[in-house]
Amino acid sequence: MLKQIIECVPNFSEGNDPNIIKQITNAIESVEGVMLLHVDMGKATNRTVVTFAGEPQKVINAAFLGIQKAAELIDMRKHKGEHPRMGATDVCPLVPVSGINMAECVAWAIKLAERVGKELAIPVYLYEEAQINKVRSNLSIIRAGEYEGFAKKITLPEWQPDFGPAELPLKHGATVIGARDFLIAYNINLNTKSTRIANRIAFDVREAGRVKREGNPITGKIVKDANGEEVRIPGTLKAVKAIGWYIEEYGMAQISMNLTNYKITSVHQAFDEVCNKGNERGVRITGSELVGLVPLGPLLDAGRYYLNKQGRSTGVSESELIDIAIQSLGLNQLGAFNPKERIIEYVLEKKSNKQLVDMSIRAFANETASESAAPGGGSVSALSAALGVSLGTMVANLSADKRGWEERTKEFSDWAEQGQSLKDELLFLIDEDTNSFNAIMNALQLPKETEAEKDFRKTALENASIYATEVPLRTMKVAFKCIPLLKYMVENGNPNSVTDAAVGLLCIKTAVRGAYFNVMVNAKGLSTTDKAKELASEAKSILKQNHTEIDSILDKVESTLAF
């Protein structure tokens, strides 16, 4: 099973005093196993977004300490800022990352809320998925009236807090805790200082739209339905909240957006729609900024979207996709956008142990040539396959960009995307093969003094050995999947690169046979005979098919080169 990981993104009502924020983040980091991912201080909004992640119990312990420290240090009676707020810790969402579903995340949010209300005597409102009463699950509805109006609001029967006292502590206010999917805080920059124009564009695009008026859309009488409710004209983007504001620090107005479900409305769709609406109102979009961390997926989607609009191949590397997204969205306008520091998967990866795939070619070769038994033949086989499919992907991209072949761009782009996916899986297997070998070494070092220890060691060693056999078998399977791509490039790709595809096939042939050797030697060490025979039989079948298909394709290449 995957380890359960959740992300917590508390927003603290302080953005000018780094000493206060440092004390809060120190409290969060005091919990062992919690990883502080990002701290984003906003001077104009006087607000800081902190992002950290870890196992659920550790994360809620850290969140509690952060909320406690914020209540101690932040005085809401003195707070001024552009962003709506109702307390020292204005909002504290939990976000499922891996190995945990939303229902489980909700349960942890409720535990945190109950503890904060009980132990810190802070009024707590549940929101989003954690709130059963959907009338008050929306953050903006809960926060309406803000800190200044909450002393009165909290006394209303319908606004009793879910946990904690029904009285507003004037020093640190109230807070909102819940569970939600990834929310992307996204600001789009305008070439105007007009908050009025920014708000009009925000109303054009946000899902809630604007109230309908008779005659003049700005000053006309508000239209109401038969029940006396205001009639609204919906905006063009679903799952989007937006307002316009002026940021003195930047000297420009922005559309400040929350993309509450980026799978419904993506970052690039939001950007393009604001561009369209801005153009209608004589405003040009000069760039945009992402607040806090963002998942990798939305930027990859944006990169593919803009490459596709340009009629170019989308089958390029992750780094290229991210670069085109950064350039197209203007994410560098207000400051450098460093993917290693702003994309959550990269930050988590950066803080983990160094991997073989991160090494230079020289370092990898030196490590392989050292006295250490790992990396060995399995990792090198996976690397060989990764290089092989990379050559096929290169030919696909060259073919997609070939002059006169414009009508075939999507055809080759699709092949290139497939190649990138296979390459990434093979790169993962380089380290996984070494990890599986290390697992065997670790099992061998387990104590074996008592019968119980011997039994435990035997089971651990057998499980590790099975996995060490399955990993190279997986390398064989993935490498074998690369053949159709390389075959297609030999037969249909840019004729100037046919030999590159042929070299790719040779890499695949070597990789499959090399991984086969690892399967067989590890299978021989298994005590479970039936399992060993099953794995060995599958490996033999793949090896035979692999050689037959590749040799047939290479014979055709040889015939085209004969003179």
- Whether 325 and 211 have beta carbons less than 8 Å apart is answered as no
242 DSSP assignment:
E
- What is the CB neighbour count within 10 angstroms for residue 383? 25
- Whether 20 and 73 have beta carbons less than 8 Å apart is answered as yes
Query: How far is the C-alpha of 453 from the C-alpha of 442, rounded, in Å?
Result: 14
Q: What is the mean pLDDT of each run of 10 residues along the chain (563 residues)?
A: 79 93 96 88 89 92 97 92 87 87 95 97 95 90 90 93 94 94 91 95 94 79 82 92 92 94 93 96 95 87 95 93 97 92 78 75 91 87 97 96 92 96 94 87 88 89 91 96 97 94 97 96 89 94 94 92 81
Amino acid code (one letter) for 436? S
Question: Would you tell me the crossing angle of helices 56-73 and 102-119 to the nearest 10 degrees?
Answer: 40
Domain(s) labelled CATH 3.30.70.670 in the chain stretch across: 184-349
State the residue for tokens 């940021």: 247
Please state, in angstroms and as integers, the Cα–Cα distance from residue 194 to each residue in 26, 210, 254, 521, 527, following that order: 39, 18, 9, 71, 75
Superfamily of domain 5-179: Formiminotransferase, N-terminal subdomain (3.30.990.10)
Kindly give, in sequence order, each residue whose CB lies less than 8 Å from that of residue 459, ignoring residues fewer than 6 positions away: none
* pLDDT, position 350: 65
On whether the pTM is more than 0.75, the answer is: no
107 DSSP assignment:
H
Catalytic positions, please?
A: 83, 433
- Whether 85 and 137 have beta carbons less than 8 Å apart is answered as no
Domain 353-561 = CATH 1.20.120.680: yes
Query: How far is the C-alpha of 198 from the C-alpha of 97, rounded, in Å?
Result: 34
* pLDDT, position 481: 97
Radius of gyration of the chain (CA): 29
Amino acid code (one letter) for 265? T
DSSP 26-81: HHHHTSTT-EEEEEEEETTTTEEEEEEEE-HHHHHHHHHHHHHHHHHH--GGG---
Q: Which residues of 204-223 are buried (b: 16+ CB within 10 A; e: fewer)?
A: bbbbbbbebbeeeeeeeeee
* pLDDT, position 563: 80
Domain(s) labelled CATH 1.20.120.680 in the chain stretch across: 353-561
State the residue for tokens 């096939």: 505
For residue 122, give both structure tokens. 């802070």
Query: How far is the C-alpha of 496 from the C-alpha of 516, rounded, in Å?
Result: 33
State the residue for tokens 């980091």: 29
Kindly give, in sequence order, each residue whose CB lies less than 8 Å from that of residue 21, ignoring residues fewer than 6 positions away: 12, 14, 39, 41, 48, 50
Topology classification of domain 184-349: Alpha-Beta Plaits (3.30.70)
State the residue for tokens 């297997």: 429
Q: Which residues of 72-102 are buried (b: 16+ CB within 10 A; e: fewer)?
A: ebbebeebebbbbbbbbbbbbbbbbbeebeb
- Whether 235 and 205 have beta carbons less than 8 Å apart is answered as yes
- Whether 478 and 425 have beta carbons less than 8 Å apart is answered as yes
Query: How far is the C-alpha of 64 from the C-alpha of 228, rounded, in Å?
Result: 43
- Whether 278 and 284 have beta carbons less than 8 Å apart is answered as yes
- Name the helix (H) or strand (E) containing 302: helix 296-309
- What is the CB neighbour count within 10 angstroms for residue 497? 21
* pLDDT, position 1: 40
Domain(s) labelled CATH 3.30.990.10 in the chain stretch across: 5-179
Q: Establish whether the linkage from the previous residue to 375 is cis, with ω within 30° of 0.
A: yes
Half-sphere exposure of 16 (CA within 13 A, CB side): 11
Reduced to 3 states (helix: H, G, I; strand: E, B; else coil), residue 234 is: coil
Query: How far is the C-alpha of 268 from the C-alpha of 513, rounded, in Å?
Result: 44
- Within 134-230, strands assigned E span 175-179, 184-190, 210-211
Determine the Cα angle at 305 with ends 303 and 310, to 5°. 95
For residue 415, give both structure tokens. 């092949």
- What are residue 187's phi and psi, to 5 degrees? -115, 135
* pLDDT, position 353: 58
Longest Cα separation, the chain? 92
* pLDDT, position 211: 85
